[in-house]
Chain A
């Protein structure tokens, strides 16, 4: 039983990180109908920027939490600037182009960012300095560290804030209107370009937070981490129904749970035939199953079939 609870805890932590990244994908998709392939790299840049700052300050005598906070505050503007620039250079000129064209530029941006990060930070893995408290508590035989508790709580707080922003503010209303129909929103006086830029800024800020969380949780960061993380987060967004904010959160948490439970139990379930290294198969398999029965994701609206 304690393994079960432990896997649930791990899944929740992983899932809240996925959810934050997935929100970035889903917001952009909702408004532009574009898979922002470079989003995972933004997460990576955020993690490495924060880590560089944290390493510089690690021996300064400041408390660990403060150092990490400063690192985070340094990473957020960097990521926001990056997201803004990406949209300006690679996506905006192609807004009316065939659907696959921005996908290819997104792939190009992703490759460029990865290579730049490698030139800048090197091929090595960067270890997170041991400045955060390692204390934790035991729940029903399972262990959760304070860092993990903070990750989950922070993710929940950010998501609640985002929902408030989208549902209650002028900016949020403009975002929803643009997602519904950009042309009409433009006619109603919404400045679409500003809204799209704002979407990228918000998504990139979330990516920065997620990047710091990942590196704090796994104590490691490297130039290649964005790719697989982005892939998982995108899977989560699709699982929940892409373009749907609560769906991205649900999808993220579900995917985290599926992965860690799958990794924990797949060996027992298959009599040892499949080991825990099949955890990715598990995630994709569930995704395919869900999409077969609900082709627009768990919470996605049924898309009107446009003629």
Chain B
């Protein structure tokens, strides 16, 4: 990571910019955009988690959202009036990460022998199984409250202060979305840091070796079974953390948020940004999270200006443009928007991976 070797001044400037960002956006565009930014950070965490599985280890996972769901529901069950439990975030988030990690191993174990597209369909099936169970586990024992989802989830509390209310400190007022922004930013940075350290570690190199050639990796003495399981578990852990934060932020979870389309969306972020390349993945996550919202807000005024009336409803226009954007980006930059240098070299040398 060259950015780590830049002078500390650059880091400081980026830090200040990130800290001021919600105020600038809140002033310029309104606090609903800070909320969009909060969601974008959640998606960045998810994309970084999936990047470990797909980008580093090369295991195509189409059911990644299941881990997000596990994290979110664990938080929802342990901190809501549904069971009357109100555990603090410090207990729930690590537990969510752990349980999601266990689910990762659960998924990884039977799929170790599968490769490529067989793996894709099994992970997809796993994601659907988790969603269907969440959707139906309201009878005979009501665990997940079925399709209605769980509401009135406790907001995240830090040192006794709920993040769902505006906080006044030294005459500065921090609305709820700003507070969540800082929390999410801190955890995103943590996840980025862990990702970078993992990439440079022995395990990270083992993952890349498996991605490039599993048999050669095995021949070099890499315990491919454990290393692959670790990739699944690690990626799932990130997903679990993001899920817990999502539940606390939304104060509501329902099975609808965890469909296959969400898994596909996160995968698109990873691939579109540049698989295996952390800055690229972050870019992909931010773009795909913010772009559809921008399209949604821009669609109505644009049509009114162009045709004098609203021809297409903004929701379908948004999806239409999104689909076209996916196609266009892949056609013109098949290795992603910001690919890893190594991958780019391979690609321009005409070697398909």
Chain A partners chain B: yes
Interface residues of A, Cβ cutoff 8 Å to B: 29, 35, 89-90, 93-94, 96-105, 107-112, 114-116, 118-119, 231, 234-235, 238, 242, 272-275, 277-278, 280-281, 284-285, 287-288, 291-292, 295-297, 303, 305, 307
* Cβ–Cβ contact B126 & A97, under 8 A: no
Residues of A within 8 A of B140 (CB): 272-273
Interface residues of B in 171-186 (CB under 8 A from A): none
Does B326 lie within 8 Å of A105, measured CB to CB?
A: yes
What are 29 of the A-B contact pairs (CB < 8 Å)?
A90-B331, A96-B350, A98-B335, A98-B352, A98-B353, A99-B116, A99-B353, A101-B330, A105-B326, A107-B264, A107-B323, A108-B323, A108-B325, A108-B326, A111-B320, A111-B323, A115-B316, A115-B319, A231-B124, A242-B117, A272-B140, A277-B135, A278-B136, A280-B132, A281-B128, A291-B118, A295-B118, A296-B118, A307-B215
Known: A35-B117, A94-B330, A295-B114. A119 touches B316 (CB 8 A): yes
The 4 lowest CB-CB distance pairs between A and B, nearest first, are A108-B326, A111-B323, A284-B125, A97-B334
- A29–B117 CB distance below 8 A: yes
Contacts of A109 in B (CB 8 A): 323, 327
Assembly CA distance A235 to B111 (angstroms):
15
B275 — nearest CB in chain A belongs to which residue? Answer: A100
Beyond the given A90-B331, A112-B320, A119-B320, please list 10 additional residue pairs across the A-B interface where CB-CB is below 8 A.
Answer: A96-B352, A104-B330, A105-B327, A107-B264, A108-B322, A115-B320, A115-B323, A119-B316, A275-B136, A292-B111
Assuming the contacts A99-B353, A287-B122, A295-B118, asked whether A90 and B136 have C-beta atoms less than 8 A apart, the reply is: no
Could you tell me which B residues sit within 8 Å of A by CB distance? 54, 60, 110-111, 113-118, 120-122, 124-126, 128-129, 132-133, 135-136, 139-140, 213, 215-216, 260, 264, 267-268, 271-272, 275, 312, 316, 319-320, 322-327, 330-331, 334-335, 343, 347, 350, 352-353
Cβ contacts under 8 Å, B117 to chain A: 29, 35, 238, 242
Docked complex Cα distance between A111 and B317 (Å): 11
Question: How distant is A102 from chain B, measured CB to nearest CB, in Å?
Answer: 8
**CB contact between A297 and one of B118, B331, B347, B353 (< 8 Å): that residue:** B118
Using A35-B117, A235-B125, A285-B129 as known contacts, say yes or no to A307 and B326 having CB atoms under 8 A apart. Answer: no
Tell me the complex Cα distance, A43–B126, Å: 25
Q: Please report the C-alpha to C-alpha distance between residue A285 and residue B120 in the assembled complex, in whole angstroms.
A: 15
Q: Is B352 within 8 A of A281, CB to CB?
A: no
Complex: A110 Cα to B350 Cα, angstroms: 28
Q: Are A284 and B136 in contact (CB under 8 A)?
A: no
Please name the residue on chain B nearest to A305 by beta carbon.
B215
The answer, among A242, A281, A287, A296, for a CB contact under 8 Å with B132, is A281
Q: In whole angstroms, how far apart are the Cα atoms of A116 and B324 in the complex? A: 11
Query: A105, B330: Cβ atoms under 8 Å?
Result: yes
Q: Chain B: which residue is nearest A289 at the CB level?
A: B110
Which secondary structure dominates chain B's binding surface?
Answer: helix
Distance, CA A93 to CA B327, complexed state (A): 11
Q: Nearest-CB distance from B39 to chain A (Å)?
A: 19
Min C-beta distance of A72 to chain B, whole Å: 28
CB neighbours (8 Å) of B335 from chain A are 97-98, 101
Residues on B with C-beta less than 8 A from A94 are 330-331, 334
Q: Which residue of A lies closest to B63 (CB)?
A: A284
Cβ distance A264 to chain B, nearest Cβ, rounded Å: 17
Whether A291 contacts B272 by the Cβ 8 Å rule is: no
Q: Which single member of A101, A235, A277 contacts B121 (CB below 8 Å)?
A: A235
A287 to B, closest residue via Cβ: B125
Grouping DSSP codes into helix (H, G, I), strand (E, B) and loop, the A interface class, with mixed when no group exceeds half, is helix
Tell whether, in the assembled complex, residue A104 and residue B316 are in contact, meaning their CB atoms are under 8 Å apart: no
Residues from chain A with Cβ under 8 Å of B54 in the complex:
100
Q: Which of A89, A100, A110, A235 contacts B323 (CB 8 A)?
A: A110
Query: A287–B128 Cα gap in the complex (Å)?
Result: 12
Chain A hits for B139, CB < 8 A: 275
Whether A288 contacts B215 by the Cβ 8 Å rule is no
Q: How far is the CA of A222 from the CA of B45 in the complex (A)?
A: 35
Residues of chain B within 8 A of A111, CB atoms compared = 319-320, 322-323, 326
| B323:A288 contact, CB within 8 angstroms | no
B319 x A100 contact (CB < 8 A): no
State how many angstroms separate the Cβ of B172 from the closest Cβ of chain A. Answer: 42
Nearest A residue to B326 via CB reads A108
